[in-house]
Structure 1
Amino acid sequence: MEILTSAEMGRTDRRAIAKGPYDGYGLMRNAGASVVDEILARFAEVHGVDVLCGPGNNGGDGYVVARLLHERGLDVRVFASAPPRQGSDAALAARDCSVRPEPLSVFRATRERLVVDALFGAGLSKEIGGPEAEAIGSTQAAGCPVVAVDLPSGVSGDSGAILGAAFSATLTVTFFRAKPGHFLYPGRERCGAIVVADIGIAPTVIEGAGIKLWENGPHVWRSDFPSPSSQMHKYTRGHVAVFSGGASATGAARLSARAVARIGAGAVTMLSPSSALLVNAAHLTSIMLQRADTLADVETFVANRRPAAALLGPGFGVGETARLFALFLLGRRKGDLKGVVLDADAITSFAEEPRSLLERMVDGEMPELVLTPHAAEFERLFPDIAADRSLSKVERARAAALQASAVVLLKGADTVVAAPDGRAVINANGTPYLATAGSGDVLAGIIAGLIAQSMPVFEAAAAATWLHAEAGRLFGPGLIAEDLPELLPEVLSGLLGAS
């Protein structure tokens, strides 16, 4: 489930060709055949197929598709933007295709015919215009089905950005491994269903290639996921401190605390200002409650109760107190505190003086930090990185993780989790039903709960993101944040039962 950039995929192709057994044209024939298999399985009702071919290898795949469909008796037309380079694999494919190409400029889509987009692959780096843009417009206006070869033309393979104009595919067939543009918005919504086809490249070809980006899922973190043993007690399963806001803002922290408990932490303590003690006491049962008005109160609690992880931010309030509490927690030793999750108000509290957080002293004996910003919070804490529009979402998250010496979970429909060492995942199992107040508070609680159970922080953040999304998908329409912690047992049963 590695995700390869366009450059990494290019290097992979060259290694695969050097190792064999397929040469470049052999891989191209396999790619075209895999697209044809999907077309025949899914689009039996179409009256004919229009194949749009560019001059490069993506176009070469298109010529293979056209030849194979024609040999099966389908009505096939080919439209080419330019001839392939002489002596290239694409030129061999064009030579072997019995359907003679027409100029792309004469192409007009019709609703009854399938369009195969083989104009540009994932390596596109410039905006689309001219006949290619006109072909995209004609196809979109006709409303006909589109099968994209590798990636819809006009979508950046590395960032998911739309480069001028782009097809909206019904199906995208890519090869060997997916690209970032298949998962990052807005490209993701242009791909339709995604099939990653095996075209004969051995997985071993990317061993040692330094790939550090994956589609998020249990394969990334399952081996580190906590599993309780019969000899554990509540504190060996992890104790988490969750900080509450004032009397009128306690709900967010309680959502977080409930998630901490549901994900398996053995004990949860709510640290509450005096003004909110009665409000919290009225709503808490198994979750413990502790007064924390001042930094001295927090210091005493940490020294006496030694929580394994702490979560600060949900509903806490923005200001000096949040900064003081956060920097105190991050200054402890790992023997006292494994990790700190800063969310929501805790992140915004550092917007006016980010250096105190980003340039704090860090060494291997201090608690590890997880930051969970949405786009606006990210911009407040990392304005220079956010302003660089040349960076993909993955690159922004990685740059922020390195700058902050923290795991950064950059939220959104395509949530990215990045570590300071460059590892990153893109989450692909989200649902729009998670766009509800309090959903992020639950996510932060799941992360803290997993860290407290000794899960490494990058893996904990990645696992929490996937589990949170699975819970949302399980409930579906009508979801509110309060539902999410109660769905975790079912999601966990499926995960742990499959081990």
Structure 2
Amino acid sequence: MSWNKTPLLTVEEMYLADRSTIQDGVSGCALMERAGAAVAEVVQSCHGEGQILVLCGPGNNGGDGFVAARLLRKSGRKVKLFLSIEGEKLKGDARLMARRWSGGIHFSLTEKDFNESSLIIDALFGTGLARPLEKRLLDFSVWAVGKEVVSVDIPSGISGDTGQVIGAGAFAALRTVTFFRKKTGHLLFPGRAHCGEIILADIGIDKSCLDVLEPKVAENSPVLWRQTLPDISFDKHKYHFGHAVIYGGEMSGAARLAALAALRIGAGLVTVTCPQADKLIYALASPSLIIKERERGGALKALLVDKRKNAVLVGPGAGCSEEVVAEIRSAADDPERAIVLDADALTVFSEDPAGLFALCHGKMVLTPHEGEFRKLFPDLKQSRIENIRIAARRADCVVILKGADTLVAAPDGRLVINANAPFWLAKGGTGDVLAGMVCGFLAQGMPAFEAAAAAVWFHGEAAKVAGRGMLAEDLLLGIKEVNAGFF
């Protein structure tokens, strides 16, 4: 687990962590007591007076609910408790916790019960749910809309692995209290939207079990890649920070955004190669850019004779022509050269994905959005996590799958889920900025996976700085501010 400082667990990995803790001598009852106490503490600290409706399911999640109900009632709160099965059908630790509950148990509810409650604790099902909510529980999720809901572990009806709604609906929580480590479903949409604020509670599971589990998924964070960022010191000059080359097409806006982003993120030099007719518009983008006009064909090959030009971006505004394919092939002929392929550079291979994958190598990064991804990997129809994991292995390079929950995957199985990007990033041109940032980090010598993860994180932070209503170009100043605060 040496690389993974912010692990996200699968449902199976969480089961194994629980089992390992119990085998080490901590009883299941003790874990359940701590989990329920954590839920009760959140309710007491974050939610005011009024009746609390606790919805308990048939398993350990329901057991947590019984504990929370008991502790809240003991503290003086008015609690009404619902159980989804007959009491004698409860098993194990949940059955014991039900016996410790001295209040009444309701086996049916109406919408009136929800309207009379100021808070609903959803302890029906945890992350391991694999079937849709039954009709009456689905009704509960509808009756709970617009009310304060605290979910135990994950909102009932959401897959702990994929974040998908299982069946026709799921609860939507204001807060979700989960235990030990977040699960992948907490950060993947729509699960993340259903979770609300995610509160991580320590219930006594020893983190040493992570060394055995070796989770392959992490929440994107600077602790994962900070040490690979370039060292900035007095004895460095511009070539220490690399020379990025951007392939500029006739649609100049995209490549200009990418080139300026590469500069802002720290590349020492950035050259844009473009048609002679477009040279002026590229030159006017910034005096810091080097502009090289090109004849048809062979431009990248001629430029890259200079080995100091160590990172290349092709795609933004490039167009989908055979010339673009040829330029990509010439850029990819050196496995030591870092390459980012985005937008048109991916679309141009829609009819020949295998031709693209044959060019890929360990210093290449592909940056598809969902539509481009489906064209390159039309047979992958699993969850986003499984899809990108397979895609990175198949392409044998790093893949960024863009979206509200952007994922970054490496061929060796490492995978991060990004969680810091605001929704207002969904605008034209922001992907071009991201591609330029990846290229800029690669030019500075960062490994492909770390460069991709860092760029995605900085991209999200820059959008926060730029604010709602931002344009893609506003990210450029956002990058400057985030850089200033980060270093």
Relative to the length of structure 1, the TM-score reads: 0.93
Give the distance between the partners of 1:213 and 1:85, measured in 2 at CA: 36
Corresponding residue SS for 2:106:
strand
Residue 477, structure 1, aligned to residue 468, structure 2: yes
Asked if residue 370 in structure 1 is aligned to residue 373 in structure 2, the reply is no
Assess if the C-alpha contact under 8 Å between 1:332 and 1:367 holds in 2: no
Distance 2:220 2:272 in 1: 31
CA distance in 2, matches of 1:173, 1:371: 36
Q: What letter corresponds to residue 158 of structure 1 in structure 2? A: D
Change (3 A) 1:333 1:151: closer
Give yes or no for contact 2:362–2:396 (8 Å, CA) kept in 1. Answer: no
Q: 1:430 and 1:314 mapped to 2: Cα distance?
A: 21
Residue 291 of structure 1 aligns with which residue?
293
1:59 maps onto 2:50 in alignment: no
Q: Distance in 1 between matches of 2:409 and 2:306?
A: 33
Which residue does the alignment assign to 1:271?
Answer: 273
1: CA distance between counterparts of 2:363 and 2:429? Answer: 24
Q: Which whole-Å CA distance do the structure 1 matches of 2:295 and 2:68 have between them? A: 69
1:169 deviates by 0.5
| 2:301–2:327 CA contact under 8 A, matched in 1 | no
User: Within 5 Å, which residues of 2 pair with 1:375-414?
Assistant: 375-385=370-380, 388=381, 391-414=382-405
Q: In the alignment, is the contact (CA less than 8 A) between 1:54 and 1:84 conserved in 2?
A: no
User: What residue identity is the alignment partner of 1:65?
Assistant: A
Change (3 A) 1:204 1:133: same
Structure 1 pair 93–460 and aligned structure 2 pair: CA distance change class (3 A): same
Whole-angstrom distance in 2 between the partners of 1:53 and 1:13:
20
Q: How far has the Cα of 1:311 moved from its partner?
A: 0.5
The residue that corresponds to 1:43 in the other structure is 47
Where in structure 2 are the equivalents of 1:239-254 lying within 5 Å?
239-246=243-250, 249-254=251-256
- Once the two structures are superposed, residues 434-453 of structure 1 have per-residue CA deviations (whole angstroms, 9 ceiling, x without a partner) of 11211111111111111111
| SS across alignment from 1:155 | coil
Q: In 1, are the aligned partners of 2:316 and 2:432 still within 8 Å (CA)?
A: yes
One-letter code aligned to 1:332? D
State the match for 1:237 in structure 2. Answer: 241
Corresponding residue for residue 432 of structure 2 = 441
Is 1:3 paired with 2:8?
A: yes
Which amino acid in structure 1 is aligned with residue 468 of structure 2? Answer: P
With over 3 angstroms needed to count, the CA separation of the structure-2 counterparts of 1:87 and 1:161, relative to structure 1, is: closer
The number of equivalent residue pairs is 479
Larger displacement relative to structure 2 (155-164 or 366-375) = 366-375
2:96 corresponds to 1:92: yes
Match of 1:208 among 212, 216, 225: 212
**C-alpha distance after superposition, 1:97-143 (max 9, x if no partner):** 11232104557311642110000000111111222112212222xx3
Q: Which of residues 140, 155, 166 in structure 2 aligns to 1:152? A: 155
Tell me the SS of whatever aligns to 1:101.
coil
Matched, 1:135 2:126: no
Q: Residue 485 of structure 1 aligns to a residue in which SS?
A: helix
- Counterpart residue number, 2:3: none
One of 224, 227, 239 as aligned partner of 1:223: 227
| In structure 1, C-alpha distance between the alignment counterparts of 2:326 and 2:89, rounded to whole Å | 63
Deviation of the 1:51 alpha carbon = 0.5
Contact 1:104 1:135 in 2 (8 A): no
Distance 2:306 2:197 in 1: 53
Q: Matched residues, percent identical?
A: 44
Q: Deviations over 1:445-497 (max 9, x none)?
A: 1111111111111011001001010010112122111111112122112222x
Match of 1:341 in 2: 340
Name the CA distance, whole Å, in 2 between partners of 1:451 and 1:349: 23
Q: Summarize deviations over 1:50-90 as a string: whole Å, max 9, x none.
A: 10000100000000011101111111111001137555011
The 1:416–1:226 alpha-carbon spacing in structure 2 relative to 1, beyond 3 Å, is same
Pick closer, same or farther for the CA change 1:104–1:462 going to 2, 3 Å: farther
User: Residue 453 of structure 2: which of 462, 475, 486 is its match?
Assistant: 462
- Equivalent residue number for residue 72 of structure 1: 75
Give the AA of the match of 2:254.
Answer: A
C-alpha distance in 1 between matches for 2:143 and 2:428: 40
- Which runs of no fewer than 5 residues in structure 2 stay unpaired? 1-5
CA contact (8 A) 2:58 2:90 kept: no
Q: Out of 16, 30, 55, which is 1:26 matched to? A: 30
Give the Cα–Cα distance (whole angstroms) in 2 for the partners of residues 147 and 326 of structure 1: 51
After superposition, give the CA deviation of every residue in 1:377-399 in whole Å (9 maximum; x if it has no partner): 111111111xx1xx221111111
Residues 14-68 of structure 1: per-residue CA shift (max 9 Å, x gap): 0111123x211101100000111110001123x1111000010000000001110
SS in 2 for 1:461: helix
What are the equivalent positions in structure 2 for 1:104-183 lying under 5 Å apart? 104-105=108-109, 108-110=113-115, 112-140=117-145, 143-164=146-167, 165-183=169-187
Letter in 2 for 1:343: D
CA distance in 2, matches of 1:87, 1:186: 32
Shift of the 48–154 alpha-carbon distance from structure 1 to 2, 3 Å rule, reads same
Q: TM-score, normalised by structure 2?
A: 0.95
| Contact 2:173–2:194 under 8 Å retained in 1 | yes
Give the equivalent residue in structure 1 for 2:358: 359
Once the two structures are superposed, what CA deviation does each residue of 1:392-442 show, in whole Å capped at 9, x if it has no partner? Answer: 211111111111111111111110111111111111111122112111111
Query: Whole-Å Cα distance in 2 between the matches of residues 306 and 379 of structure 1?
Result: 35
Structure 1 runs (4+) deviating above 6 angstroms are none
TM-superposed deviation, 1:355? 1.1
Q: Output the amino acid matched with 1:484.
A: L
Give unmatched runs, 5+ long, in structure 1.
Answer: none
Q: 1:268 to 1:17 in 2, by over 3 A?
A: same
CA drift of 1:235 comes to 1.2
Is residue 248–residue 274 contact of structure 2 (8 Å, CA) maintained in 1? yes
Q: Name the CA shift for 1:87/1:290 in 2 (closer, same or farther; >3 Å).
A: same
Separation (CA, whole Å) in 2 of partners of 1:259 and 1:106: 56
Say if 2:442 is the partner of 1:451. Answer: yes
Which residue identity lines up with residue 409 of structure 1 in the other structure? I
Instruction: Find 1:327's aligned residue among 302, 325, 329.
Output: 329
Question: Which amino acid is 1:127 matched to?
Answer: P
Distance in 2 (alpha carbons) for counterparts of 1:289 and 1:367: 28
